[in-house]
Chains A and B, each alone.
Chain A
Amino acid sequence: MSLGKTEVEYISRLAAIAVEENEVDQVAAKLSNILDLFKQMEAADTEGVEPMAHPLDQVQRLRADVVTEVDQHEKLQAIAPSAENGLYLVPQVIE
């Protein structure tokens, strides 16, 4: 399977990772190689096989519906690239 520029742009949007114009061909080639590896799965007969999401077929453990997190926003925001008054700052979104 060979990916083109359109697919790379689509994947770049899905992954929220910028791909520069001059990298497109190389990224397309390497991703295509990986997709070729995936092709090997097609030949396998999986009729009637249940998908397996978890090694031990466990069910999710439940816990009581009570607050367990403590407020430590000051500690956690101290390592943010940009925070003020308890808020994370990003470029303006709404005009």
Chain B
Amino acid sequence: MHNLTIKQMSEKLHAGEITSVQLTQHYLDRISKYDAELNAYVTVTPELAIAMAEEADKKLASGDADLLTGIPVAHKDIFCTDGVKTSCSSKMLDNFIAPYDAHVVSQLKKVGMPILGKTNMDEFAMGSSSESSYYGPTKNPWDLKAVPGGSSGGAAAVIAAGLAPMATGTDTGGSIRQPASFCGITGIKPTYGSVSRFGIVAYASSFDQAGPMTRSAEDSAWMLNAMAGFDERDSTSLQREAVDYAADLGQSLKGLKVGVPAEYFGEGLDADVEAVIRNAIAEVEKLGAEVVEVHLPNKDLAVPSYYVLAPAEASSNLSRFDGVRFGYRCENPKDLEDLYKRSRSEGFGAEVKRRIMVGAYALSAGYYDAYYLKAQKLRRMVRDDFTKAFESCDVIMGPVAPTPAFNIGEKTDDPTSMYLADLYTIPVNLAGLPGISVPAGFVNDRPVGLHIVGPYFSETKLLNIAHQYQQVTDWHTRMPAQYQ
């Protein structure tokens, strides 16, 4: 059953050939069988899943069902889920049972998607490898020695291994697209503001954006339809007319202008990854697209700018974890300051502490102009690069990451080397643009994703390009042999 596309699952559910309870149980069985070695789930919720599946079956029987009704989903452990532990993979929230649902969770509940559990991630979404989780690293289903990417590494791994048909992710600096690339799945980060941030544990609010992680672009389009939309509880939620993200699936790519940034194929890009990406672009050309060279001259400024701004926002957002209202509290605090400082130093892991400290420093008197304000100016320059590039092309294509998945432990001692590997994804977050990672091949048996970035609100176009590419390639249908 886990080899069916979402469309096939939906058809079988609606035709009564399978029930949501059967489908959900199938995934729960696979999770019991395989997750011990992958560590992709922080929490599995079998009772909740089956109860929700029973409800979904009633909806299906009564005819009051959506395309996704009855199809189970795994939520990244950053989405507050009423009555379920929502840890953000941190000791700080190890005891936190969310008292309400994130907007995305309630949207997917309304549709009737049973919740299989909560997926592992980098602590507070700060990382690119899912190694900083309090619950230990998630492993890449394609190679257990490799990281699955991060921060939505658990979500990418469950899709790749067939431990969930659909998963939610969040992307602040690449956290949907990079793990999607490393695990050979499809993941889209929509335009900033498209999906409500309500109930998503905040990391860097002017960057955070949720999106779907699935096998195919078609699956992602369907899921994004259920996730996106205006929500008054998110102050930066976009007030736009509802969009059907699947509307353009089926459009021809004839005449599509694909911009290829010269700067993305320079030093630092693995030669084999480059070959995969160039092949993928050639495939898109065969479908009728035209390739033009574009320039993103400020791309090297994106990483330092992001690593000032995101930690600065994090230092403010994470001040709520103070050992008073919820979450971890240290033993026997001697006074209030000791309570704050020790609860935070014992509750947060090393990378989270580093980012809070760097962010607080960047915002402090005497450094604000040199760091924070400067970084905000660079943010505009990076955004303007894209605006200019889109004058001569419809979308931009390039790599998601400079290498395939690296080995577990390879970069943990050198945080800045991990930061620098985010060079292709971060500019997209700085600008707030939509971007998608599409499986495009393998290097040393590890998957590689093609990155497609478009202007604001071009999700339907990105999804269609990915869909057309997936009509003539089969990378997205491949699964690691041991999980087939």
Contact = CB atoms under 8 A, between A and B. Distances in A.
Contacts of A55: 192-193, 206, 383, 430-433
A51 B375 CA distance: 8
A15 B378 contact: no
Contact of B326 (A12, A54, A72, A79): A79
Interface string A52-93: 111110101101000000001001101111100000101111
B324 A80 contact: yes
Nearest to B232: A63
Nearest to B323: A81
B378 A46 contact: yes
B254 interface: no
A15 B356 contact: yes
A17 B99 contact: no
Contacts of A90: 324, 333, 336, 339
A31 B326 contact: no
Given A17-B341, A17-B356, A80-B325, A50 B415 contact: no
Nearest to A81: B329
Interface in B380-403: 380-381, 383
B206 A54 contact: yes
Interface string A20-45: 10000001001101111111111010
Contacts of A81: 323-324, 326-329
* Chain B, interface SS category: helix
Contacts of A42: 370, 374
Contact of A37 (B232, B348, B364, B416): B416
A51 B361 CA distance: 19
A51 B324 contact: no
Contacts of A60: 235
B235 A44 contact: no
B461 interface: no
Given A16-B319, A91-B339, A52 B383 contact: yes
Contact of B376 (A34, A53, A78): A53
A48 B94 CA distance: 47
Most B CB contacts (10 A, CB to CB) among A11, A33, A52, A56 go to A52
B193 A33 contact: no
Contact of A56 (B344, B345, B456): B456
Measured as residues with beta carbon below 8 angstroms from the partner, the interface class of chain A is 35 or more
B322 A79 contact: no
A83 to B, nearest CB: 9
B415 A34 contact: yes
Nearest to B95: A79
A28 to B, nearest CB: 10
B432 A61 contact: no
Given A37-B416, A38-B307, A75-B99, A11 B360 contact: yes
A41 B374 contact: yes
A84 to B, nearest CB: 13
Given A16-B319, A80-B326, A52 B376 contact: yes
B324 A18 contact: no
A16 B206 contact: no
B40 interface: no
B415 A18 contact: no
B329 A82 contact: yes
Given A76-B99, A88-B325, A91-B336, A15 B376 contact: no
15 contacts: A14-B364, A18-B344, A27-B354, A31-B357, A31-B361, A37-B419, A38-B371, A38-B375, A46-B381, A52-B379, A54-B236, A75-B99, A80-B324, A81-B327, A81-B329
Closest 8 CB pairs of A and B: A55-B432, A51-B376, A81-B329, A52-B380, A18-B345, A46-B377, A18-B341, A14-B360
Interface of A: 11-12, 14-20, 27, 30-31, 33-42, 44, 46, 49-56, 58, 60-61, 63, 72, 75-76, 78-82, 88, 90-93
Interface of B: 95-97, 99, 192-193, 206, 232, 235-236, 238-239, 298, 300-301, 303-305, 307-308, 315, 319, 322-329, 333-342, 344-345, 348, 353-354, 356-362, 364, 370-371, 373-381, 383, 414-416, 419-420, 430-433, 456
